[in-house]
Chains A and B, each alone.
Chain A
Amino acid sequence: GAVVSQHPSRVICKSGTSVKIECRSLDFQATTMFWYRQFPKQSLMLMATSNEGSKATYEQGVEKDKFLINHASLTLSTLTVTSAHPEDSSFYICSARDRDSTDTQYFGPGTRLTVL
């Protein structure tokens, strides 16, 4: 089956630092990748959609200058949380859509970010 990896799985950082999260599709090519955020006991919230080679589309209320997304290849997208603050602490999950089967999204294992 389709596998999506994320790295790191867990990160703790100080307030004001930037954190980069990588999302890779391991056995398929993903023209579109999605970044979600999930707070405890809350639903998944879509932050942005990124298409390979073009700028990401951000959902309303998500600051594009704070959450930088790069989708430089068909297998890699990165999310950089810039100048992180404690309120950015959350579970960040990426998802990739198979280019050959554009209907199904596969999720990565998630990255738990804690900002002190």
Chain B
Amino acid sequence: QKEVEQNSGPLSVPEGAIASLNCTYSDRGSQSFFWYRQYSGKSPELIMSIYSNGDKEDGRFTAQLNKASQYVSLLIRDSQPSDSATYLCAVKLGRDSTLTFGKGTMLLVSP
């Protein structure tokens, strides 16, 4: 059974700090990895996708993937109160397979 594990949090960081969100997955054959942000009462919004080992940067966000350790993370630099949300990690086996979501980590950024 495919599983994606995330710490539910909340993860509390002060404004301006780096927030580090972590995710592990069980299926070693997973090929595609995504981070979504979900504000309370809203639907998920895609932040980043990553497919290869290493880091991928997009603005204040950096996704990190380590397939050997079956681990993917999201770093948010210069965290802002508006970043406070639940962050969902999602994993796919292949291009046409379905997404498997983790339960999400709640991030709270305090002013």
Instruction: Identify the A interface with B (CB < 8 A).
Output: 32, 34, 42-44, 46, 49, 91, 93, 102-110, 112
Say yes or no: B96 contacts A102, CB within 8 Å: yes
Bound-state CA distance A105–B45 (Å) is 10
**How far, in Å, is A111 (CB) from chain B's closest CB?**
10
Say yes or no: A107 contacts B49, CB within 8 Å: no
Pick the residue among B36, B43, B92 that contacts A103 (CB under 8 A): B92
Known A-B contacts A104-B46, A104-B49, A107-B44; A44 and B95 likewise in contact (beta carbons under 8 Å): no
Say yes or no: A103 contacts B49, CB within 8 Å: yes
Bound-state CA distance A105–B100 (Å) is 12
Say yes or no: A102 contacts B95, CB within 8 Å: yes
Say yes or no: B42 contacts A103, CB within 8 Å: no
Q: Residue B69 at the A interface, CB < 8 A? A: no
